[in-house]
Amino acid sequence: MAKLEHIERSEVLRYMGHQGEPEPELSALLDRCEEILLRDARPKYTFAVFDILRCEDGISLSGCRLELLGNDIKAHLEGCERAALICATLSSGADAAIRRAEVSDMALAFAMDAAASAAIEQFLVMADEEILSALPGYYGTWRFSPGYGDFPIEVQRDFVSALNAQKRIGLCVSESGILTPRKSVTAVMGLSREPLPKKRRGCAMCAMNRTCLYRKRGGHCGF
């Protein structure tokens, strides 16, 4: 199972909205964050692979009740025969670490929150590789998550349940559809026997596209 050994500093700074070299105080703060998170978080993921059946308003999967609705997920899975559903979490240990920081030191809490966001993404990149290595002969798309484009975020509960993710990695969904522990991700990776054209994710898919600081500055986050 993939293991986090460090947290990419430049990514943490990006999540914090920081530009340029960090000042010594900020660097020291990020050192502390990394140490605490690597100690307290127990990242885990689980996945399952299904054959894709196309349907009118999205994608349905063979042997799975879950329907992936919307045009964007349909487009995302174009050319794919199968799909890997992935659930990952940094664990409740990460939440507790952030909570502790919030009580005593807001700057630390803010940095921890950003570091945890960077960590879960970094962990998923490692998971992607492991998943693909378990599926020899397949090429994978990038991960497409509920809430991107018109792929409804309301699918979280059924998504988590289809993967039995509470039992497998301790991932739940709150009454209002939020993944808990907080630093968690669900995503779909399309799988194809043929090499897939590289697509950039782009801002149109992003729920933040109207408020994003990077866009306001005229750039993008690299997403």
Interface with another protein (CB under 8 A): 13, 16-19, 22-23, 25-26, 29, 42, 44, 46-50, 63-66, 91-93, 95-96, 98-100, 102-107, 109-111, 113, 131, 134-135, 147, 153-154, 158, 161-164, 166-167, 169-170, 172-178, 180-182, 207-208, 210-211, 217
Give Cα 100 to chain centroid, integer Å.
Answer: 24
Residue 107: CB minimum distance to another protein, A: 4
d(CA 119, CA 58): 31
Q: Which is nearer to another protein, 29 or 77 (CB)?
A: 29
Residue 152, burial from CB neighbour count under 10 angstroms (0-12, 13-18, 19+): middle
Q: Which is nearer to another protein, 10 or 19 (CB)?
A: 19
Buried b (16+ CB within 10 A) or exposed e, 59-71: bbbeebebbbbbe
Residue 183: CB minimum distance to another protein, A: 11
Give Cα 184 to chain centroid, integer Å.
Answer: 7
Cβ(31)–Cβ(25) below 8 Å: no
Q: Which is nearer to another protein, 65 or 198 (CB)?
A: 65
Q: State residue 52 phi and psi, 5-degree precision.
A: -90, 130
Residue 205: CB minimum distance to another protein, A: 14
Residue 119: CB minimum distance to another protein, A: 15
Residue 180: CB minimum distance to another protein, A: 4
